[in-house]
């Protein structure tokens, strides 16, 4: 069980608005899952480099050139709200 | 020619030699899909210009142009992959109207090889699920038994292929999402080595685990499709520059002297009786064909599920931060935008746009990455992940291929397991370690349960040794007691 305050804090970090019901559901379920996952803490991993890319992939070089593959119209074609080719958003500052 | 049951290679050959037109093939499969889809809910949308695209291919063939290795073969594509001009929703409300202005590299390569995309296939939301029950667009039904799940997350691909609503499909696999539904629906599904197939244009779930691959009706079709979609891509720096072998040409069912490993830790029982029987039968069949069975040990697989969920949820919480209601996708409704606080704007949009399971994993991932917990969870999981991979690399010194079950049981009933996420997660015990270690894996149909549901066998090989895995798969396919069995809808 993870306390409600922590759940609310995590939801805020994740920019997720959750309902009261969801909050209590998650506090149960996440608590249960993390409890189970806790078993890895007992493994001795001293000196082991964490693995991120799981296959040997050779580094390669490419020219750092700008490519213009899409028009501004294409790039804004999925905008929920726009003015011309600008995205409409709430005040940011 | 019975198009419904034809192999991909047969269709492409017939189209190239003008025995049948691409238009006839496409029309056949489009009609079939439109007729049967209401029963299965495998397709989320159809490509209305599929027949026109097939006609265009026919005229290119008439002009003497080379139409490509997969000429006129109709494919369905999982909703995770961007398709230019066709909605790509990832099974989520938050992307329900998203129309990509470009094709994923996998899709672009298929099209270049002559594939006709007939539509998009249902899936668990953002590929987070093992039963296709988390899709915003409804549950997919298993064509072998409409009361059962098709598996997930590539449930639409598996169901569409099993019912032959298209000649081939593409799925994605982050923790078993190609292999498990392939097993549940009795088809062949291949997850390639990490880095073999470009992830460009594939909706990101967990970037260090995701790979796309073929979900088709035979091992040869899988090899052929994999050849087309594999290889280095400038747009994905994690793709390997290794040459793509001609797997389909090298395919051989001669397994004499090949070493097939069984993981000791997987042989401790607890399997559904019919799954156990299928595994035993497959081992007997391989022995008969001259393969040598050896025992290997990968003790750290015990931790695969926790490590997988910690890594996947962490990467997902970061990847899914992009859905903010600004540039594309769903946005919550606001009366007066200029009076809205930015945090409310994000919170409401994401709170309403994501489904339950996705939110659960974002919460889990955010928790694991948050200050004070990073070392205990994400970092620790990464360390254990390396230990799991190293043990696999050791095991592959003793064998060419590892054989195991795909899941503990055949397909379960719709609704049976949704209420308990942890139990659902624990189902992924045999599939997740393959992704953690970046290895290629596949599912080949080899059994059928007493209730008439298909059961697959999982094969895993060393990095970039897809050939060994495909060959053993090919041998099993030839010896399969369920060869040629199809669901009643076919």
Per-residue model confidence as pLDDT tens digits over B272-292: 999 999 999 999 999 999 999
Q: Could you give phi then psi for residue B236, rounded to 5 degrees?
A: -140, 105
Q: Predicted confidence band at B317 (pLDDT cuts at 50, 70, 90)?
A: very high
A27 has a chain B CB within 8 A of its CB: no
Are the CB atoms for B382 and A52 separated by under 8 Å?
Answer: yes
DSSP for B379-400, written as a single string: IHHHHHHHHHHHHHHHHTTT-S
Identify the burial level of B211 via C-beta atoms within 10 angstroms of its C-beta, where 0-12 means exposed, 13-18 middle and 19 or more buried: buried
Alpha-carbon separation of residue B41 from B19, B110, B136, B178, B271 (angstroms):
32, 24, 12, 18, 30
User: What percent of chain B has pLDDT above 70?
Assistant: 100
Residues B181 and B171: their CA atoms lie apart, in Å, by: 10
Find the closest chain A residue to B392 by CA distance.
A54
Residues B4 and B294: their CA atoms lie apart, in Å, by: 40
A52 contacts B208? CB cut-off 8 A:
yes
ipTM score assigned to the predicted complex? 0.96
Per-residue model confidence as pLDDT tens digits over B432-470: 999 999 999 999 999 999 999 999 999 999 999 999 999
Please state at what angle helix B356-369 crosses helix A4-13, rounded to 10 degrees: 90
Q: Could you give phi then psi for residue B121, rounded to 5 degrees?
A: -115, 140
> What pLDDT score does B395 carry?
98
B254 has a chain A CB within 8 A of its CB: no
Q: Residues 54..93 of B with a Cβ closer than 8 Å to A: which? A: none
Q: Predicted confidence band at A59 (pLDDT cuts at 50, 70, 90)?
A: confident
Determine whether B78 is an active site residue.
yes
Determine whether B112 is an active site residue.
no
Assigned token pair, B113: 């090889």
Alpha-carbon separation of residue B321 from A15, A91, B102 (angstroms):
8, 20, 21
B194 has a chain A CB within 8 A of its CB: yes
What's the longest Cα–Cα distance across chain A?
57
The minimal CB distance from B310 to the residues A13, A37, A55 is found for: A37
The minimal CB distance from B381 to the residues A40, A62, A89 is found for: A40
Instruction: Choose among B346, B464, B366: nearest CA to A57.
Output: B464
> What pLDDT score does B9 carry?
96
B372 has a chain A CB within 8 A of its CB: no
User: Residue B296 pLDDT more than 90?
Assistant: yes
Q: Could you give phi then psi for residue A49, rounded to 5 degrees?
A: -75, 125
Q: How far is B187 from chain A (nearest CA, A)?
A: 27
Which one of B21, B130, B131, B153 is the catalytic residue?
B153
Find the closest chain B residue to A21 by CA distance.
B356
> What pLDDT score does A75 carry?
94
> Which residues, in sequence order, are CB contacts of B287 under 8 Å at separation 6+?
B293
Are the CB atoms for B107 and B235 separated by under 8 Å?
Answer: no
Q: Could you give phi then psi for residue B373, rounded to 5 degrees?
A: -115, -15
Cis check for the bond before B153: say yes or no (omega within 30 of 0).
yes
Per-residue model confidence as pLDDT tens digits over B203-249: 999 999 999 999 999 999 999 999 999 999 999 999 999 999 999 99
* First-to-final CA distance of chain A: 38
Residues B44 and B457: their CA atoms lie apart, in Å, by: 29
Identify the burial level of B64 via C-beta atoms within 10 angstroms of its C-beta, where 0-12 means exposed, 13-18 middle and 19 or more buried: exposed
Identify the burial level of B235 via C-beta atoms within 10 angstroms of its C-beta, where 0-12 means exposed, 13-18 middle and 19 or more buried: middle
Whether the model pTM is above 0.95:
yes
Q: Could you give phi then psi for residue B349, rounded to 5 degrees?
A: -60, -50
Determine whether B130 is an active site residue.
no
């Amino acid at each position: 069980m993870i306390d409600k305050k922590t759940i609310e804090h995590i939801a805020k970090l994740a920019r997720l608005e959750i309902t009261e019901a969801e909050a209590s559901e998650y506090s149960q379920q996440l608590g249960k899952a993390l409890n189970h996952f806790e078993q890895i803490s007992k493994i001795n991993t001293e000196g082991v480099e964490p693995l991120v890319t799981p296959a040997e992939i050779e580094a390669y070089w490419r020219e750092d050139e700008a490519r213009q593959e899409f028009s501004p119209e294409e790039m804004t074609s999925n905008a929920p709200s726009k003015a011309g080719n600008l995205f409409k958003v709430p005040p940011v500052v | 020619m019975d198009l419904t049951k034809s192999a991909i290679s047969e269709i492409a050959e017939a189209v190239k030699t003008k025995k049948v037109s691409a238009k006839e093939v496409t029309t056949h499969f489009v009609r079939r899909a439109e007729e049967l889809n209401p029963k299965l809910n495998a397709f989320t949308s159809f490509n209305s210009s599929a027949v026109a695209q097939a006609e265009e291919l026919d005229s290119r063939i008439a002009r003497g142009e080379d139409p490509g290795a997969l000429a006129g073969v109709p494919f369905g594509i999982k909703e995770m992959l961007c398709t230019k001009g066709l909605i790509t929703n990832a099974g989520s409300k938050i992307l329900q109207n998203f129309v990509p202005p470009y094709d994923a590299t996998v899709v672009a390569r298929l099209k270049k090889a002559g594939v006709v995309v007939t539509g998009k296939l249902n899936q668990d939301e953002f590929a987070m699920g093992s039963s296709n029950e988390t899709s915003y667009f409804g549950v997919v039904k298993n064509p072998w038994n409409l009361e059962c799940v098709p598996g997930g997350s590539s449930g639409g691909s598996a169901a569409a292929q099993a019912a032959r609503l298209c000649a081939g499909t593409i799925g994605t696999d982050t923790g078993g999402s190609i292999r498990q539904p392939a097993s549940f629906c009795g088809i062949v599904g291949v997850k390639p080595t990490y880095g073999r197939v470009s992830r460009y244009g594939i909706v990101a779930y967990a970037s260090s685990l995701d790979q796309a691959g073929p979900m088709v009706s035979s091992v040869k079709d899988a090899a052929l499709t994999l050849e087309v979609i594999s290889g280095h891509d400038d747009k994905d720096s994690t793709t390997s520059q290794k040459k793509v072998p001609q797997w389909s040409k090298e395919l051989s069912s001669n397994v004499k002297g090949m070493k097939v490993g069984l993981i000791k830790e997987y042989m401790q029982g607890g399997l559904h009786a019919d799954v156990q029987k299928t595994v035993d039968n497959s081992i007997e069949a391989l022995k008969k064909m001259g393969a040598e069975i050896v025992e290997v040990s990968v003790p750290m697989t015990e931790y695969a599920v926790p490590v997988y969920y910690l890594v996947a949820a962490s990467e997902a919480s970061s990847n899914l931060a992009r859905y903010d209601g600004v540039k594309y996708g769903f946005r919550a409704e606001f009366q007066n935008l200029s009076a809205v606080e930015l945090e409310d704007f994000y919170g409401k949009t994401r709170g309403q746009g994501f489904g339950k399971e996705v939110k659960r994993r974002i919460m889990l991932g955010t928790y694991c990455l948050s200050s004070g917990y990073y070392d205990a969870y994400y970092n620790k999981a990464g360390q254990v992940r390396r230990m799991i991979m190293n043990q696999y690399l050791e095991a592959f010194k003793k064998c060419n291929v590892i054989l195991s079950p795909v899941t503990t049981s055949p397909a379960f009933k719709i609704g049976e397991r949704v209420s308990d996420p942890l139990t659902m997660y624990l189902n992924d015990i045999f599939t997740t370690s393959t992704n953690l270690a970046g290895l290629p894996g596949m599912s080949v149909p080899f059994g059928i349960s007493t209730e008439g549901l298909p059961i697959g066998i999982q094969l895993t090989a060393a990095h970039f040794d897809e050939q060994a895995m495909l060959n053993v798969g090919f041998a099993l396919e030839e010896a399969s007691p369920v060869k040629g069995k199809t669901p009643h809808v076919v």
